[in-house]
Structure 1
Amino acid sequence: MKAFSLVATALCAMTVPVLGAMVESETSPDAQVDKRAFFDDSYKIFIRKRNAHACMMSIVFIVLFPLAAISLHLPLKGVRVVTRIHAPIQILGLAMMIGAMGLGIDIAKNDLNYFSPVKAHVVVGLLVTSTIIVIQPAMGILQHLHFKRTGKKSIFAYVHRWVGRVMICLGWINSGLGFQIVGTHLIPTHSWVRNFLLMGILGGIWFLLMGVDGFRSHMAKKDKLSSYRVVWDKGPRLRAPMQGQDHAMEPSKVETSSS
């Protein structure tokens, strides 16, 4: 009986640390990755999926979407910028974004269990990608059809413009959240330096062109308003500019949509 007690005590002493280690590994945030580390091929697949997701999303939000927005501000006379440059780049970016979104959902759900609790990177990513998929193509197409009928902008153009601007900026923020969630010590320095350098260059060019176009638009409206004259015709009235002057001031109609 005494020998049996000694054996039972020894077994308990050996089992408790093992169970404790198992519980600790299950509750650690990287438990899923630790499990996959035992299976070399599966772990390599996870790393490839993670890198592909990061690379594709970086290309989309740091390069393609800003370039598509920049194209609308370039002085390309005689070129249908919207249909020949802007839309193709956006379609390519949208396709890449959907693929990267699928990879991100798979990683968050099956590899890292980021849905319980939900990480900020996942929330912002789903918000941005879903908004772009649902709103941007529809608003762009509706504005294009409206312009073909009337030659003017509509509410669709302004929704498309401002939603695009906000989503691109949120995508930039989410890029930083992605680096944070992985850990900067695990990422080569040149990777995040390259990302933020491109972000700064293309973002700076984009914001500069938006500012220049905004200033030119403001000055054009100011000049057009100043062309009106106060005349006396049974009381003070505003007289519009002469017909020839009006045509000289009015630019030729080319579809643009500042983004």
Structure 2
Amino acid sequence: LTTTASLALGQYGPNGQYGPDGSNGDDSSAFNGAISTIQFCGDDANWTSMSSIAHGVLASLAFVIFFPMGSILVRMASFSGLWLVHGLFQIFAFVVYIAAFALGVWMTQQAPSQVNLIGRYHPIIGIVLFVVLFFQPVLGLIHHFQFKKYGRRTFWSYGHLWLGRLVIPLGMINGGLGLLLATETGYGRPTTGQIAAYGVVAGIMSLLWLAATIIGERRR
């Protein structure tokens, strides 16, 4: 049994609409020889589809639910050891993302040679997030001890705060790009309802996270 997947290289390739060098999806280059039909055996297609779904679910949990919740917690709650609970919660979220990242790497390696997945926006942003997140626990720990010592925010504090404020929305946006990529490749293809649900939940969590950030700053 063979499953045929139509991969729109004109949209997601280096010169496509969703690629790093894209301008729009309507120019002539997007239509001239842009569609490449690749054959996969049924078992490989099923594994790739399942991996794509698992990758999307885990990454969404990390950036849409866990990371924002950990940030909201440290802004709105007040109890002894809050910094430690915040840190452990965010590390848990990072572990979830590491699992999603590993699946993403595997899918990239399994992609046909004709498809340059690593040149698409979604995996590039995913790699950047993965690398940057390794610095957050270190910056957070330094921030905590420096704050205890001086009673005010230092350079390390602002580094930790603003890195987190950039990573969370970027991760949410990248989730949307991942849904576009899954729709185009056909593996783990989301339904319209699932895409809408992601947008609604991400939007609500973004507003809650932003509100908590503003309230937290005003309380200082």
Q: Which interval holds the TM-score relative to the shorter structure?
A: 0.7 to 0.9
* Structure 1 position 147, deviation (Å): 3.0
**1:17-41 deviations in Å (ceiling 9; x for gaps):** xxxxxxxxxx95452xx22xx2x32
Match of 1:17 in 2: none
Give the residue type in structure 2 aligned to 1:42: D
1:197-208 mapped onto 2 (5 Å cutoff):
197-208=200-211
Match of 1:150 in 2: 150
Q: Is the 8 A contact 1:128 1:167 kept in 2?
A: yes
Give the residue type in structure 2 aligned to 1:120: Y
* Structure 1 position 94, deviation (Å): 0.9
Match of 2:122 in 1: 121
Match of 1:69 in 2: 71
Within 1, Cα distance between the matches of 2:83 and 2:219?
20
Match of 1:182 in 2: 182
- Of 44, 47, 50, which aligns to 1:48? 50
Match of 2:136 in 1: 136
Call closer, same or farther: CA 1:78–1:119 in 2, change over 3 Å.
closer
Call closer, same or farther: CA 1:112–1:173 in 2, change over 3 Å.
farther
Query: Would you tell me which structure has more helix in proportion to its own residues?
Result: 1
**1:117-136 deviations in Å (ceiling 9; x for gaps):** 71111111111121112x21
* Structure 1 position 116, deviation (Å): 6.1
1:195 pairs with 2:198: yes
Call closer, same or farther: CA 1:77–1:124 in 2, change over 3 Å.
closer
Match of 2:91 in 1: 91
Call closer, same or farther: CA 1:102–1:214 in 2, change over 3 Å.
same
Q: Is the 8 A contact 1:30 1:112 kept in 2?
A: no
Q: Any idea what SS the aligned residue of 1:137 has?
A: helix
How many correspondences in the alignment? Answer: 183
Q: Is the 8 A contact 1:70 1:206 kept in 2?
A: yes
Q: Is the 8 A contact 2:72 2:212 kept in 1?
A: yes
Within 2, Cα distance between the matches of 1:70 and 1:122?
27
* Segments of 4+ moved more than 4 angstroms: 27-30
Match of 2:59 in 1: 57
Q: Is the 8 A contact 1:65 1:90 kept in 2?
A: yes
TM-score (norm 2): 0.75
**1:136-194 deviations in Å (ceiling 9; x for gaps):** 12101211232343343221111011011111111111111111112278312232222
Q: Is the 8 A contact 1:109 1:115 kept in 2?
A: no
**1:233-252 deviations in Å (ceiling 9; x for gaps):** xxxxxxxxxxxxxxxxxxxx
Q: Is the 8 A contact 2:54 2:100 kept in 1?
A: yes
TM-score (norm 1): 0.64
Match of 1:238 in 2: none
Of structures 1 and 2, the one scoring higher in RCO (CA 8 A, sep 6+) is 2
Give the unaligned 5+ runs of structure 1. 1-26, 218-259
Q: Any idea what SS the aligned residue of 1:72 has?
A: helix
Root-mean-square deviation (Å): 2.2
> Which has the higher Rg, Structure 1 or Structure 2?
1
Within 1, Cα distance between the matches of 2:205 and 2:119?
31
Match of 1:163 in 2: 163
Q: Is the 8 A contact 2:75 2:216 kept in 1?
A: yes
Give the unaligned 5+ runs of structure 2. 1-33
